[in-house]
Structure 1
Amino acid sequence: MKKLSIAIAALAATGLTACGSQDGASGDSRNAIHAVGSSTVYPFATRISEIFSREHPDFPAANIESIGTGGGFSAFCSGVGYDTPDFAQASRRIKPGEFETCQENGVTEIVEIQVGMDGIAFASAQGGIDMNLTPEIVYRAIAANPYGEEQTNETWSDIDPSLPDLPILVYGPPSTSGTRDALAELILEVGCEAGPLPEGLEEDEQDRICTEVRSDGAYVDQGEQDNLIVSKIETNPNAVGVFGYSYLEANSDRVQGLPMNGVEPTYDNISSFDYPGARPLYIYLKKEHVGVIPGIEEFLATWVANWGEDGPLAEIGLVTNRGEVREAMTAATTEFPVLTAEDLQ
């Protein structure tokens, strides 16, 4: 109780406590854990929340929101207090600019925890379009201005005659999504840098050329709902979808993964990083909220107890941490090491 009183006093001193009510609490308090962010991390966080509620019925159910990685960091970094989230869920690492915003708004004690891994999966309907992709093929297909030139590719065979003579139609994540950031970093930039870029480009212009996607209907932004992408490609055998690997595994009876550089998007290929689209998944904790919002430590312990190779998160597609990474992340859930700007360099 002494720790709780001190922590509440510290929060009150920030001047950032809520004026309204939230999660069944009123005034300047909140009892339920609040986590926001990545649609890819969402099903794992939701499963953890379900287990947490079952094992700790004395705590309110956690409030888990899927608003995209970028939106999650925006809310998380808005300040410290009952009206701000305790956790941000992310399908990429926090960016230096986002970290700086956190610091400016008083969120100075951030704990970074890698909960596992995932992959940027490319898929089509079972029995649908089938092809061996490469980062360069994907870049030429969906970039707004591939290598600085006008986008003229209308069919996959326009890119390579060995590919299907079918219209390019890719359903994918929006610009606010961590999945889109990972698509840009792991696939589009790799494909872009493999080709003939114009000389003398400024950094901003090269970034635009390498990561901006076309807006003529060949790439369709489906919002933060990866399940909607699964539904779209299931009903169109000529379409390709881009989403987190967990959605591919969860819907393996409906869709099929497409290889990248000849490597299939499988659990083993992602965990070994042989698959080009492999990426880590994170949750970020506001250390200032520990001891103030009830159940945070127990919630983290629930993550640790269930993120193993034979656990319920692996059953729904999480590629689990192993070895030293798992040991370090397990320790982080109780020791709360604070992330620094140098860590992000």
Structure 2
Amino acid sequence: MKTGMICGTIGLAALTLVACGKSDLSSLDTSDGVAAAPEMSGSTQKIKIVGSSTVSPFATTVAERFGATSGFSTPIVETTGTGGGFKAFCQGLGPDQPSISNASRPIKASETALCASNGVTEITPVEIGYDGIVVANSKNGPDFDITKTQLYLALAKDIPDGAGGFQPNPYKSWHDVDAGLPDEPIQVFGPPPTSGTRDAFVELGMEHGAESLPALDALKASDKKAFQVRAHTIRTDGAWIDAGENDTAIIQQLVKSPTAIGVLGYSFLEQNGDRVKGAQLAGVPATFENIASGDYGLSRIMYFYVKDQNLTLVPGLIDYIEAFTSDSAFGPDGYLVEKGLIPLTDEDRDAQRAVAESLKAAASN
């Protein structure tokens, strides 16, 4: 499963935060200019981490243990979504900028370009484990066994009209999409456009579902960009509801609305199994084993990205990276498994520790 999912190394950088009593991004300049040089005297530097809501629980757990046992300050972990994390991460160099960006997808070319325009030219991804994107609903709701094609037909803004064109999505209920699905209104709580979970859902789920339809398969062959627009654009008529970057908010909405479904990371399903249940995807349950094996069709690798140029600027940064990539953390018996992390293979974990060692060597030069 891992082959083909791994983002190539883009470099690495780490960055320190001057705490000054703040733990949010309210003062971050999100313009495209390079950040001004930070004031460093008389302040306590902390590792600042931004990004994916899916990776955030794992990063927070590592950060808390790291702060309690390492002698360094506890890193600040801010949930901004993958896209928002890269935007903040790419603003410039220095201890007042994020050092690490958590991500539930690989960095995009446009994000790499933004980083480069602000002097962030050395970035390295570290893979931490697998996650599944699950379709879930309340324990009190109907059972779902759904395919990627059905997800596309239910959630795409426009679908084939059967006459060579496209029409606004007419479906109001799941039963309208397929007679075998529950006769309940299509109401889906999901992540916003800045979320890596949403990016992965439309790419791994809706796009693959669209490919199974002859009209869209032909469009892909003739105009790949037009196909992606049709496959990735989610309807805006109220059937899909952006529920924010934090998947916990989706869980809360599902408990309140038993007939609704939500799109979220597997770890949140695992942590809330007393309140929500996962749908089967083409007959395959969303389980730890099925995601790890690749049998579950909405699986992905999770990452964090580091600024190499700041490795020597942030006390404890390389130590945090080593702590995260230790077997006691992300190994098969590590404490992150209890949080829902699905570990990499032994070989792949060894490869990520080698990445950490190369960063340590670079920082010491």
- Using the size of structure 1 for normalisation, the TM-score is 0.88
Amino acid at match of 2:180: S
Matched with 2:139 is 126
Q: Name the CA distance, whole Å, in 1 between partners of 2:81 and 2:311.
A: 24
Q: Is this contact kept in 2: 1:16–1:81, CA < 8 A?
A: no
* CA shift for structure 1 position 129: 1.8
2:195 to 167, 177, 181: 177
2:59 to 45, 50, 63: 45
- Deviations for 1:76-96, whole angstroms, at most 9, x for unmatched residues? 112222232110100001112
Structure 1: runs of 5+ lacking an equivalent: 1-6, 9-14, 338-345
Which of these residues, 129, 139, 151, is aligned with residue 138 of structure 1? 151
Q: Could you tell me whether the CA contact under 8 Å between 1:120 and 1:242 is conserved in 2?
A: yes
Answer whether contact 2:38 2:95 (CA < 8 A) is retained: no
**Residue by residue, what CA displacement relative to the aligned partner does 1:121-145 show, whole Å, maximum 9, x if unpaired?**
1111113121211100111111111
- Does the 8 Å contact 1:32/1:62 carry over to 2? yes
Q: Percent identity?
A: 41
C-alpha displacement of 1:205: 2.5
Classify the secondary structure of the residue corresponding to 1:123: strand
1:193 is aligned to 2:229: no
Taking the aligned partners of 2:168 and 2:34, their CA distance within structure 1 comes to 49
CA offset at residue 100 of structure 1? 2.3
Q: What is aligned with 1:320?
A: 343
Alignment-derived partner of residue 340 in structure 1: none
Letter in 2 for 1:49: A
Q: Quick check: 1:331 aligned with 2:354?
A: yes
Q: Tell me, in whole angstroms, the C-alpha distance in 1 between the residues paired with 2:134 and 2:197.
A: 10
Residue 236 of structure 1 and its aligned partner are, at CA, apart by 1.5
Which residue is equivalent to 1:74? 87
TM-score using structure 2 length: 0.83
The 3-state SS of whatever aligns with 1:335 is helix
Number of equivalent positions:
321
SS at match of 1:66: coil
Give how far 1:68 is off. Answer: 0.5
The SS at the match of 1:312 is: coil
Does the CA-based 8 Å contact 1:139-1:187 persist in structure 2?
yes
Match of 2:49 in 1: 35
Other-structure match for 1:88: 101
1:235 is aligned with what amino acid?
K
Deviation string, structure 1 residues 260-312 (Cα, Å, up to 9, x no partner):
01111111111111101100000000011112100011111210221111111
- Runs (5+) with no aligned partner, structure 2: 1-14, 17-32, 161-165, 361-365
Helix, strand or coil: the match of 2:45?
Answer: coil
SS at match of 1:115: strand
For 2:258 and 2:174, how far apart are their aligned partners in 1? Answer: 14
Deviations 1:166-205 (A, max 9, x none): 1111100000000000001100100111113265664332
Match of 1:282 in 2: 303
Distance 2:313 2:193 in 1: 34
Matches within 5 A, 1:153-164: 153-164=171-182
1:26 Cα deviation (Å)? 5.2
> Alignment partner of 2:189: what SS?
strand
SS at match of 2:68: helix
